[in-house]
Amino acid sequence: MQFKRNAINLAVTVAMLAMAGGVQASGFALIEQSGSGMGNAFAGGAAVADDATTVFFNPAGMSRLKGSEFAASVHAITPSAKFSDTGSTGAALQTAGGNGGDAGGLAWVPNAYVTTEINPNLYFGLGINAPFGLSTEYDNNWIGRFQAVKSKIETININPSIAYQMSDSLTVGIGLNYQRITGELTSMTNYSAAAFAAGGRRCLPPLAVQVKRD
């Protein structure tokens, strides 16, 4: 019997390892969608439904909110992004440049939610938030200026939702997300090096022009 239990445990372990996938980072995702959720580290966030922020996490939870409710918060995010050069060389006809300083900065992430009880079984909610975002900006003369100077992504998400309480133990909810994303990417273009590589005059003075892409 002990051998059989060990064999089963081994088989289960092997199966779980075979199904395991790579860990993916959250990328541009922001978790700052609820003031109350941040306060309790989002423990049971989809099941608690104790305020109007349930519109975003679980619209069916609106059936636990009687009357009308409003919730709003603003989160301050201060990331830090520093580059340290350990011996890179400058581009042709250009100085190497510095480390660029701290590319991070202060960002404000707001959100607001409202819910209302249409009747004892039907509920409506609306949420406005920013699920994704990122911004970095280095000095214009830093060593990586030809790759990036300023990189910024902003989103705004409008989330209407409805919930219907079918019984004392069952509520169904559905929500739609309309999301608008804007981006700003700037870099310095090394025209003098490009002309030199193409066979232009060797006496062409160094020239760097900032390019902005939206």
pLDDT tens digits, one per residue of 72-119: 999 998 888 888 888 776 655 667 788 888 888 888 999 999 999 999
- Dist. CA 96–CA 79, nearest whole Å: 26
CB 178 within 8 A of CB 156: no
Is 2.40.160.60 the CATH number for 26-84+92-213? yes
Contacts (Cβ under 8 Å, ≥6 apart) of 27: 132
Query: Cα 101–103–105 angle (5° rounding)?
Result: 120
How many Å from the N-terminal Cα to the C-terminal Cα in the chain? 66
What is the share, in percent, of the chain residues with pLDDT greater than 70? Answer: 73
Looking only at the bridges linking them, the beta strands covering 150-167 and 178-190 are: antiparallel
This prediction's pTM: 0.72
Q: DSSP secondary-structure letter at 64? A: G
Q: CB atoms < 10 A from the CB of 208, how many?
A: 21
Can you give the pLDDT at residue 162? 96
Domain range list for the chain: 26-84+92-213
Write down the pLDDT at residue 92: 59
Residue 115 and residue 162 in contact, taking contact as beta carbons nearer than 8 Å: no
3-state secondary structure of 101: coil
Confidence category of residue 207, pLDDT binned at 50, 70, 90: very low
* Those residues with Cβ within 8 angstroms of residue 130's Cβ, 6 or more apart along the chain or in another chain: 30, 109, 110, 111, 154, 155, 156, 157
- Predicted pLDDT of residue 8: 64
Rounded to 5 degrees, what angle do the CA atoms 105, 109, 111 make?
Answer: 175
